Amino acid sequence: MTVTRAIDLDMIGCRHCGTVWEGAADGEACSRCGTRLHIRKPDSLNRTWAFLISACLMYIPANMLPVMMTRSLLGTSNDTILSGIIFFWVSGSYGLAAIIFVASFLVPLFKLAALFVLVVSAQRRSNWRREERAKLYHVIEIIGRWSMLDVFVVALLAGLVRIQGFAEITAGVGIAAFGAVVVLTMLASLSFDPKLTWDGDPDEDTKDTEDITKRSQ
């Protein structure tokens, strides 16, 4: 299926104010807001790969190291994300366990996998499921704001428990690694240019057009 792009019509959209300019050159300043116009984000794939690989490396300590340390009269306990999920599940807080499991374990993993698919497909200039890949990028942007839920939970528990005076909860090293994963995945999604999804192989586009023409005949 052939897709008509702005670049094919000699148009460039400003990423800051949204104005579309016809006949503008790449690198030229937007006449409305002064922002440099670029057909595609400069060095998008390399920067996205750098953030994505870093996030994958930090994902391991984020799940292996303790995110919460509890000190009470009964002793000291260190909890990772998964051990915290198991604790809430065993104690009967199924809803809270499910929320933390989805927001703190599945969502970061989903974002890493989805970004990997988007970057590899864009780098190969693949025409595979372009529309679905474009929607996938929007899903990543929507769920990105909920990825810090585990950090908020630890901060809230630390404040509440100290007020009550029964125990002391402090954030562990794992929470820093988890926060790094969230920030790096956000930077990776911001660095990725979704317009690259539509930059497929011209030969394949021509072949698809010929196939459609033959079917119509």
CATH topology of domain 42-216: Butyryl-CoA Dehydrogenase, subunit A; domain 3 (1.20.140)
With 0-12 CB in 10 A as exposed, 13-18 as middle and 19+ as buried, what is 152?
Answer: exposed
CA 93 to CA 89: how far, in whole Å? Answer: 5
pLDDT in 10s for each residue of the chain, 217 residues: 556 666 666 677 777 787 787 777 777 788 778 777 777 778 888 999 999 999 999 999 988 888 777 666 666 777 787 887 887 788 787 887 887 788 778 888 888 999 999 999 988 888 888 888 888 888 888 876 666 555 565 555 555 445 455 556 666 778 788 888 888 988 898 889 888 887 765 554 444 434 433 433 4
Is the entire prediction scored with pTM above 0.75?
no
For the chain, the maximum distance between any two Cα atoms, rounded to a whole number of angstroms, is 82
Structure token pair of residue 189: 């999604």
| Domain range list for the chain | 1-39, 42-216
